[in-house]
Amino acid sequence: MKRFLAPFLLALVALSGCSLGSSDAGGRNDTDDRTAAMECLSDAGVSARLDGPAEDQEVVIGDSANPPHIKFFLTAGEAEAEQFKGHGEGAEQIGGTLLYVGDGSDDTLKAVEKCLADL
């Protein structure tokens, strides 16, 4: 019995450490994604601002009557589920975000899409 128990325990310990340090083991921090998106947009020369309550801030692009805006989710699956619920009309899913295009120009939207794809 001891002969079988030792390899089993060793395998159990080895397998439990497999996910340590894994970059895709869990959800991302959406606040970091907002910060990274804002920095990328700024570097691309796109005017953007954070809007809304701290726990649910969106990035608003420009200041037109119907500006493009970005809603952030922890995972791509959560963003996709938002669309299935009917809350993503007029939005493009890019990873864990929904980009509501509004009246954004093609050039602006192209820069925004690149920033979101790089998150």
Quote the number of domains for the chain.
1
Q: Phi, psi at residue 52, to the nearest 5°?
A: 105, 180
17 in any annotated domain:
no
Instruction: Give pLDDT tens digits along the chain (119 positions).
Output: 555 555 544 454 444 444 444 344 344 555 589 999 999 999 999 999 999 998 889 999 999 999 999 999 999 999 999 999 999 998 999 999 999 999 999 999 999 999 999 99
13 in any annotated domain:
no
11 in any annotated domain:
no
Decide if 36 contacts 119 (C-beta within 8 A). Answer: yes
Give the torsion through C-alpha atoms of 62, 109, 27, 73, to 10 deg. 50
- Whether the pTM exceeds 0.75: the reply is no
4 in any annotated domain:
no
Q: Residue 27: what pLDDT?
A: 46
In angstroms, the Cα distances linking 48 to 9, 28, 43, 105 are 53, 22, 11, 14
Separation CA 88–CA 45 (nearest Å): 26
- Domain containing residue 84: 27-117
Q: Residue 31: what pLDDT?
A: 58
1 in any annotated domain:
no
98 in any annotated domain:
yes
